[in-house]
A and B are shown apart, each in its own frame.
Chain A
Amino acid sequence: MTAVLIAVAALLGLAAVFGAILGFASEKFKVEGDPIVEQIDGLLPQTQCGQCGHPGCRPYAEAIAEGEDHNRCPPGGQDTVDALTDLLGRDELTLDDDGAEDADVAKVAYIREDECIGCTKCIQACPVDAIVGAAKLMHTVIVDECTGCDLCVEPCPVDCIDIVPVKPTLQTWGWNRPAGIGQRPDSRIEVVNL
């Protein structure tokens, strides 16, 4: 009987001690705010395109944190979905998009300036203020600021906005990843001018 009592007392004592330690730790190492939203937001591509159904990346990040599927960001591509899967420890998902081939290619908006009537509608639609221009004056896209979200395409009354892939320049050009095991890393090119 005493042994049972001792055992119970010991367990209770342990429970109390560990409870105290846990309580102390939760106070001492309390994490401020809800950093998961920040982390999710950090992974999203910040195109602010709204294709996920939310007005901007941060609202979507908040929605993901509250349990929404994390595969609704076409600009981020499958890479972003995978990164979010890793971060959240959720089930793997495939990107929920229209299956466009060039989803991973970086794009920017381009205004055919001859056709622009200066209606300012695209300026109002741009979520990142990347279009400049005034009423009745031609508009143009600040390429460096454009996220290629294509929100400006639909409002344009004369359809003078194209979403074009970003052309590589000498500065942005990079080597391809080699083809892999079993493949030769070189290619051949026809030369005529010698």
Chain B
Amino acid sequence: MSQMEAAKTRKPTSIFARLALGIRRPAAVHDFHGGIHPPEMKHLSNGTDIAPGPLPAQLILPLNMHIGAPAKPLVEPGDKVLKGQMIAEPAGAVSAAIHAPTSGTVSAIGPRPIQHPSGMDAICIVIDTDGKDEWIPHGGISDYTEMSPGEVVDTIRHAGIAGMGGAGFPTSIKVNLGDHQRVEELVINAVECEPYITADDRLMRERADEIITGIHILQYLLNPRRTLLGIEDNKPEAIKALKQACKGCDIEIRVVPTKYPSGGEKQLIQLVTGKEVKSGQLPAHVGVVCQNVGTAFAIKRAVINGEPLIQRITTLTGDGVARPGNYDVLIGTPVSDLLRHGGVDPDKLGRLVMGGPMMGFTLHNPGVPLVKTSNCIIAASPEELPEPPPEQPCIRCGSCAEVCPANLLPQQLYWHAKNDDLEKAQHHNLMDCIECGACAYVCPSHIPLVQYYRYAKGAVRQQAADQLKADKARQRFEARQARIDAEKAEKEARRQARLEANRKKKEAAATPSVDTAALKQASLEASKAYKAAVKAAKAADAEGAENAAELKAEADRLKEIADKAKAAVRDAGNAAPAPAPAEDIVSKLKKQVGDASSAYKTAVKAAKEAEANGDDNASELRARADELKATADKFKAELRDAKANAPATAPAAPQADPVAELKKQVGDASSAYKAAVKAAKEAEANGDDNAAELRAKADELKASADQLKAELRDAKANAPAAPAPAAAPADPLTELKKKVGEVSSAYKAAVKAAREAEEAGADNAAELRAQADTLKADADHWKAELRDAKASAPATPKAPPAPTDAPKVAETTAPQSLKAVDPDAAAKRQKRLKGLKTAYNMAHKQYKEAHAAFERAERKEEVSADELNAMQQKVDKLKAKADNARDALDALVEDAKADIRAHTGKDLKTLKLEAARAESALADKKIELDKLVSSSSEDALEALNSELKALESEAQIARKALKQALEEQGLVE
């Protein structure tokens, strides 16, 4: 039948027919703007009863037949399933379950072409049917009021019901409004305004009773003030059937004039209630819930009969099939099966549409399945739905604006979409377009307007997504930049502090003036870094970035560093007093140590309390405590130094039995360590957050205990020497040796502690490492001095060492580099490093000597002021020289480290970490092996052994790499 003939039958119900049927239009019927009257073509399929659909050999069930998250499969290929068995459950709130539409075997879960205009594949569950159609035990409830509304909603959710009008929004969400939302009107959509489709029409004619029951269930759930059923006046039989089924019930049947798109949700709401849903809002915002009749029917089947949504009425129509009509098809039936069932003539097929001719989409593949939303298949002949003619220029005739139900200006949208002027298109409310196709239907120039709008909408969404991604990228980039800057600043500050500390130590004895320039510089840099971090944090905060808090914390940390640096500057400024006598120094240091220790203890206590309370500043306090501890340690070290030096300058000073004291200290430290370990173990067992921290603390305590033990050892070793202080000046070598031993052991302990801390991922690992580095520098210094002393022992102590007396640096074997390293360059660097070290040592020694001479001279009264000045100048000059040498050395070391980074792709720290990690993995495995030795089978042992070996070799590799890298650059530890 051609369109022209169809057009003649457009108004099937004359005024007389309507009067006879008792249909009357409500007096005050609302209207919406625009709309069209395409040929209805409903007579093709609405003349016959609903017939059973085919039972295909295979059913294809896409996991995403609804709006929302795809369902989660509950079956696996090979599983037998029964009809009605849930095979996929809803994943998340907005999702719907899927059930086996018949019995059979799951043959695959994988990508299949699905119902989508793109023609893309999506994950589907494929069921090979067995033809038995065997139900799973199921049953409903005859009186739904016995269930609570919540239980009914649950039933609907588990029945997998999704809006059957076309959108497929999970029904359980729509009927489960919060208590605060009052439903004024429940609108039942029975309009079916699209041409060709008659599924709802036939359903209403034949199963009106069940639909009414379904609507009653909806009323029970939503408790609306009134229920309005909107139906077009071209379905007189359906209206009659509904009226009969609903005698005396409280459902108002509103007959609306036939006009496309009356069935659009917002249009229907406007038609029957006069309410307008605001742009971007849902009907619920104006107190309206809209449900399709098909959905109401499915709800009835689910609640009363206990049948999940496994089949639906689908209209098969078009000139391409011999038996058009409505079929009760199983969800998942391939379209091709239904077409064959309806007697398709492939030669007459020109276009295959799923859905109506106005809003449906053409199928790329007849193998796609029918899903919960598939209300119609049009197998159209080329004459029926002819090929669209070529697009002609828009003449702005305005026909489109006349018919637009959203009252848009489609011609303007077209111009802007065509020119990619998305901003203007959005200004003309592109996003309010419902894509009903009325504009394209009437366009005399046959412009595919809807495609232009869909394209533009996609582009708008893409643009928004891109913008979001760009913003996120910017934030991440800025955060990264801030982090890198902060790290750099921190490193610099630490380096400066270290340099300064060294310098200060050297100067502490004599120079009244402290060189604060470097400190100031460090402080300035730290402040700058802090300010940058604060700015970044603020910006992030303003943009509501996720990492704002992180950045803030970073800023706080930097502030602390800056404060520390400032304090250092301040201290340096204050610490310019004339050198005190040695005894004074010792006592002062003792006092300082005491003060610092108690301050540290207080801080630790505070930090512990804060941690227990879960305070925010716990970490800050902890950091503060660590800082204090470092201070205390420094003072202790200084005290030790002073004590060690004391015999030299003040031989009379008696030594309280240091061995006994140390023994006590060691005992204390050991027990503290044991307690800490116990606490850490307990925390680990409880899975507490601070377990790692406790472990680190324990390690720290262990380190200090070790240190003390080492000290004790030293003390014991020195004990005989102590009472004979007079020997000290005479034997500087022994003293130096002792010193070296002391510092070395301290350094080793520190390294160990640092490594353990690093392994545990403790926060203060870096600090410990830094401490260790300081100690190392110290140790190196003493070693060098010892070497010097040894070398110059035969000569007079005052004689400046000749360059030829250069101290020997530990011999290094020519390194075998990990990657091709220029051996010449490495050798050169080594040579230079050696030279610089020698130069520095020399300069330092000269300076010290000069300084000592100056001090002596100062004490003597006969030396004139001029002479003193000259000496002072000399001392300064030597000091500058030593500093220069030190700086050059440091620069070279940094350089070498950078080189290691460049060659190995890792910095020294990474290499160290890697080595440490490998070691610890090895240790862990060893323990595991030990444990297993008694209990396990031979095979397991074998496996573990080989694993152990592999780890061992890995550890070796790491160790070797570290060593090589270090050696290569002459940085032997």
Residues of A within 8 A of B (CB): 41, 44-48, 56-58, 119-121, 127-130, 135-136, 144-145, 147, 157, 168-170, 172-186, 189, 191, 193-194
Contacts and interface: CB of A to CB of B under 8 A. Distances in A.
14 contacts: A46-B469, A129-B479, A147-B469, A157-B905, A173-B120, A174-B461, A175-B117, A175-B455, A177-B451, A178-B391, A181-B392, A185-B388, A191-B352, A191-B366
B474 A57 contact: yes
Contacts of B64: 170
Contacts of A170: 64, 116, 118, 120, 122
Nearest to B364: A189
Residue of A129, A145, A177, A184 ringed by the most chain B CB atoms within 10 A: A177
Contacts of B117: 175
Given A45-B470, A194-B346, A145 B905 contact: no
Given A181-B392, A193-B366, A194-B339, A46 B477 contact: yes
Nearest to A182: B390
Contact of B448 (A174, A185, A189): A185
Given A56-B477, A194-B346, 8 more contacts: A44-B470, A173-B120, A174-B457, A174-B461, A174-B462, A180-B418, A191-B364, A191-B365
B586 interface: no
A181 B395 CA distance: 12
Interface in B389-415: 389-393
B573 interface: no
A48 B476 CA distance: 10
B434 to A, nearest CB: 16
A56 B481 contact: yes
A181 to B, nearest CB: 5
Interface string B454-468: 110111011001100
A129 B346 CA distance: 56
B135 interface: no
Report the contact-size class of chain B (Cβ under 8 Å from the partner).
35 or more
A158 to B, nearest CB: 12
B474 A46 contact: yes
Contacts of B461: 174
Contacts of A176: 451, 455
A144 B468 CA distance: 11
Interface of B: 64, 116-118, 120, 122, 336, 339-340, 344, 346, 349, 352, 364-367, 387-393, 417-418, 447-448, 451-452, 454-455, 457-459, 461-462, 465-466, 469-474, 476-481, 905-906, 910, 913-914
Nearest to A55: B481
Chain A interface mostly helix, strand, loop or mixed? Answer: loop
A169 B364 CA distance: 17
Nearest to A169: B120
A129 B481 CA distance: 10
Contacts of A189: 364
Contacts of A179: 391
Contacts of A169: 120
B119 to A, nearest CB: 8
Contact of B118 (A58, A147, A173): A173
Contacts of B473: 46-48, 128, 145, 147
B454 A174 contact: yes
Contacts of A56: 477, 481
A44 B193 CA distance: 47
A147 B390 CA distance: 39
Contacts of B120: 168-170, 173
B398 to A, nearest CB: 19
Contacts of A47: 473
